[in-house]
Amino acid sequence: MSTAVAAADRTPVASPRGETIVEFENVWKRYSGRDVLTGVNLTIRRGEVLCILGPSGTGKSVALRHINGLTQPDDGDVRVFGSSVVGLTEEELSPVRRRVAMLFQGGALFDSMNVEQNIAFPVREHGERPPEEIAAIVAEKLTMVGLPGVQRKMPAELSGGMRKRVALARSIALEPDIILYDEPTTGLDPLTSEKIAQLIVDLNVRLQTTSVVVTHDIVTARTVATRLAFLHQGRFQFVGTFDEAARGGHPVLMEYFRSMGFPCGTGVFQVPKGV
């Protein structure tokens, strides 16, 4: 079944004036003697798909990991659901992490478990449920990501794209309010990338979640993004819609668009279909 909704056809669920769900305030982060984030400010609104775009190594994933407290800032504040996640212990972060799922770059599936055990894992960990109910949740989530019936397979038997889908099914198992995607299409062929991108859009609408997608791929960004945030030299240099960016955003962003083969800055922005 294909319930994927193309970016162009879907009705935007995020009101531009939606409630703020995540907020970065003057966040600084230093890694091995290098300033990665230098006073980052950003607000993410409920229901939108915010795409953090930028070249490799600019600290996009680092910024993303601040949202669920996997990384703590050196300075500044990050507020999720209205309360700060800075300086909290792992135990104190638990309530936030249960509502914020994360899809890791390589999927991060547990190799010692099969697909069903992987998806059931967070469900079993957070509450007692009968086995039939867990099996039903697993089957439902697998159908949602378009991979019904692979419960018994081991992660090593899956292709890169399938692994990402199973990991995505595991992320949505607890029905999170926010899903963080770290490079969801990296290492996949263009066709699979596009399918994953459409799945992200589709899930955002169906599960009524907020999504934050880190990518360096403009094609993915075009498909998924309600808004773009361009990270360069440790700060978000541009935040706005894809069309606004293409009409004329930050000069480096323009350069980035052109290097990826997207004509832009001409006033009339047309992306050829099928890119």
Partner 1 sequence: MPLTQQQPSATAIFYRNLRWLRFVDRFGRKGQQTVEYLGGLIQLIGQTLASCFSRPFYSTEVLHQMDELGVKSVSITGITALFTGMVLALQTAYSLEAFGGKIFIGRVVSLSLVRELGPVLTALMVGGRVGSGITAEIGSMTVTEQVDALRAMAISPIRRLVVPRVLATVLMMPVLTAIADVLGILGGLGIAVLELQMTAQDYITSIWQQLQISDIGSGLSKTIFFGLEIAAIGCYNGLQVEGGAASVGRATTRTVVLASISILVSDFFLTKLFLAL
Under a CB-based contact definition with an 8 Å cutoff, are residues 48 and 30 in contact?
Answer: no
Shortest spacing between CB 134 and partner 1, in angstroms: 15
CA-nearest of 111, 131, 112 to 120 is 131
Q: Which is nearer to partner 1, 81 or 104 (CB)?
A: 104
Shortest spacing between CB 250 and partner 1, in angstroms: 30
Q: Which is nearer to partner 1, 28 or 121 (CB)?
A: 121
Q: Which is nearer to partner 1, 37 or 102 (CB)?
A: 102
Ramachandran class of 80: left when φ > 0, alpha when ψ lies in -120 to 50, beta otherwise: beta
Round to whole Å and give the CA distance between 244 and 130. 50
- Over its C-alpha atoms, the chain yields an Rg (Å, rounded) of 18
Pairing relationship of beta strands 210-215 and 49-53 according to DSSP bridges: parallel
Round to whole Å and give the CA distance between 8 and 223. 8
**231, containing H or E segment:** strand 227-232
Shortest spacing between CB 98 and partner 1, in angstroms: 5
Shortest spacing between CB 171 and partner 1, in angstroms: 9
Residues in the interface with partner 1 (CB under 8 A) total: 24
Q: How many residues does the chain have?
A: 275
Q: Which is nearer to partner 1, 74 or 110 (CB)?
A: 110
Under a CB-based contact definition with an 8 Å cutoff, are residues 171 and 200 in contact?
Answer: no
Round to whole Å and give the CA distance between 270 and 275. 11
User: Which positions from 70 through 129 interact with partner 1, judged by CB under 8 A?
Assistant: 70, 90-91, 93-95, 97-98, 100-102, 104-106, 108-111, 121-122, 125-126
Shortest spacing between CB 208 and partner 1, in angstroms: 21
Q: Which is nearer to partner 1, 179 or 228 (CB)?
A: 179
User: Which positions from 129 through 148 interact with partner 1, judged by CB under 8 A?
Assistant: none
User: Which positions from 187 through 226 interact with partner 1, judged by CB under 8 A?
Assistant: none
User: Which positions from 52 through 71 interact with partner 1, judged by CB under 8 A?
Assistant: 68, 70
Distances (CA, A) of 86 to 38, 72, 101, 188: 16, 6, 18, 34
Q: Which is nearer to partner 1, 101 or 199 (CB)?
A: 101
Which amino acid, residue 43?
Answer: T
Q: Which is nearer to partner 1, 9 or 125 (CB)?
A: 125
User: Which positions from 166 through 185 interact with partner 1, judged by CB under 8 A?
Assistant: 174
- Beta-bridged to residue 80, according to DSSP, are 22, 83
Q: Which phi and psi angles does 168 have, rounded to 5°?
A: -65, -40
Shortest spacing between CB 13 and partner 1, in angstroms: 24
CA-nearest of 251, 228, 232, 254 to 240 is 228
Q: Which is nearer to partner 1, 91 or 132 (CB)?
A: 91
Shortest spacing between CB 109 and partner 1, in angstroms: 8
Shortest spacing between CB 33 and partner 1, in angstroms: 15
Q: Contact positions toward partner 1, by CB under 8 A? A: 68, 70, 90-91, 93-95, 97-98, 100-102, 104-106, 108-111, 121-122, 125-126, 174
